Structure 1
Amino acid sequence: MSGSVGIIGAGRLGLAVARLAVAAGYRVLVAASGDPARLRPVLAAHAPGAAAVPLAEVATAGLVVLALPLTAYPTLPVAELAGRTVLDATNYWWELDGLRPDLSDPATSTSEIVQAHLAGAHVVKSLGHMSAADLEAEARPRGASGRKALAVAGDDADAVAQVSGFVDALGFDPVVAGALADGIRFEPGTEIFGGDVDAAELRALLERFPDSQRGRYLAKMRRRD
């Protein structure tokens, strides 16, 4: 076994990560809003091997994945997640979330907003720049031809290493993108987002982000501030 992983959210992304994590040998705990009993038949049908548990129990896992809407981050339990490695796979979608200046401020990344709420946790951004369907379709064993890569950004070296190991176990080459603030380099609107590229190309895209359309826009907006 590879330890335990807790997933908060049981939508397409949460279920996809649950299936991959079960296949990789993890003990998988999943929590969603409401009674865990209502989630059990969903997991039995779509992520067999994963267990539906209360949110407090998910927070006891060795790694906790956020696969819920970004707008729900204020509901995350601060005390329970203190000291934990939290993999933030959320994104801001203005089409669904509405116009939210607090979530689209060019001066910060969305994962930094999550980190500010979960002050005692070690937040690391990853997984969210690939769709749920592509996560499952593109997963490959280590060293396999055509293996795709996922960016990993965080401020705590141990947490980054833990998430990198998880990404590798799921079937992708982890590419460390820098500090948590650098997670903005693979948010929606960037070249990386939805690109499904290998490690070499991902590193190249991260390096040329400042010269990309999105990178120049963010730099311009930050100079105004």
Structure 2
Amino acid sequence: MKISVIGAGAIGGNLARKLSGAGHEVEVAGARGPEAVAPDVLETGARAVALEDAVRGRDAVILAIPFGVAGQLADLFASVPAETVVIDTSNYYPHLNGRIEAVEDGAVESVYTSELLGRPVVKAWNAALAETQRTKGVPTGTPGRIAIPVAGDADEAKRVAMRLVDDTGFDPYDAGALADSWRQQPMGPAYCTELTLDELPAALAAADRPKDTAVRDSMSERFAALGANPTLEDVVEMNRAAHR
């Protein structure tokens, strides 16, 4: 497939490396131009391009950008064909993104992103830590493979996203409509807890928006309690413990 990743940070870099390594034709665009894309992002064959080139002639475009800025790309996406699958990976954290009243009032994160962008999106890869994505992807059929929820309204777009999740080393799970993707937002039981395909459905079903929001808003204090150099396992256990 012809895939573009917009955003070359931790998540975007992971996806560019994984998907190009899986044989896809991958282009990467960052806000600071193609020359600013780190060489390691391109080490498995991805190519750095200008932002305006990243949406031309692509089968899928993955947004690995900060939450709330998708509106800045609306004009760019206005000419993108309807059949191009757009995948949103972002998460809302008020202390990072600033307080966004629409989300505080109950808007589902990726529904809000879709409205800003002016086109449908699929939500994927948001519910796994960057380090989990970088180090824990394994081949299909590997026992204990971590699952990643995928939510969206168009069946074909969701199938494309699920195939790509599989190609990055994780079991895709159909998490329903985009309006249901609040269940995979920070900091629900399914969020960054490294669950298997057998475990993930119950975690999504157990999501509770008021409780999960409170857990999200206490994250700084809980993270500080881990000490100076927490491991990936420490962070995953912290997230799991919040829902026991």
Q: What interval of TM-score do these two structures reach, taking the shorter chain for normalisation?
A: 0.7 to 0.9
**Bigger relative contact order, structure 1 or 2, given CA contacts below 8 A and separation 6+?**
1
Query: Are residues 1:23 and 2:21 paired?
Result: yes
**TM score, norm. by length of structure 1:** 0.86
Equivalent in the alignment of 2:111: 112
C-alpha change, 1:99 and 1:180, in structure 2 (3 Å) is: same
- Any unmatched runs of 5+ in structure 1? 218-225
Which amino acid letter does the alignment assign opposite residue 62 of structure 2?
Answer: V
Deviates more, 1:62-71 or 1:47-56: 47-56
| Helix, strand or coil at the partner of 2:142 | coil
Note the C-alpha offset of 1:38. 3.2
What secondary structure sits across from 1:184 in the alignment? helix
Q: 1:5·1:63 contact (CA, 8 Å) conserved in 2? A: yes
Q: Distance in 2 between matches of 1:215 and 1:15?
A: 28
Q: CA deviation at 1:215?
A: 8.9
Q: Please list every run of at least 4 consecutive aligned residues from structure 1 whose deviation after the TM superposition is greater than 2 angstroms.
A: 44-47, 102-105, 207-217
Rounded Cα–Cα distance in structure 1 between residues aligned with 2:176 and 2:9: 28
Give the whole-Å Cα distance in 2 for the aligned partners of 1:209 and 1:35. Answer: 39
* Structure 2 CA distance for partners of 1:113 and 1:82, relative to 1, 3 Å: farther
* CA shift for structure 1 position 131: 1.1
Cα separation, 2, equivalents of 1:36 and 1:75: 18
Provide the aligned C-alpha RMSD in A: 2.1
1:35-60 CA-to-partner distances (Å, cap 9, x unmatched) read 32333xx1x23431111112222113
Answer yes or no: is the 8 Å Cα contact 1:5–1:64 preserved in 2. yes
Change in 2 beyond 3 A, CA 1:16/1:154 = same
Q: Does 1:66 align with 2:63?
A: yes
Which of the numbers 50, 60, 63 marks the counterpart of 1:54? 50
CA distance in 2, matches of 1:31, 1:8: 5
Please say if residues 210 and 216 of structure 1, whose CA atoms lie closer than 8 Å, have aligned partners that are also in contact.
no
Could you state the TM-score of these two structures normalised by the residue count of structure 2? 0.80
Q: Using the aligned pairs only, state the percent identity.
A: 31
Give the Å deviation of 1:211: 9.2
Distance 2:139 2:193 in 1: 20
2:223 alignment partner in structure 1: none
Q: CA deviation at 1:7?
A: 0.5
Separation (CA, whole Å) in 2 of partners of 1:104 and 1:210: 15
Letter of the aligned partner of 1:47 in structure 2?
L
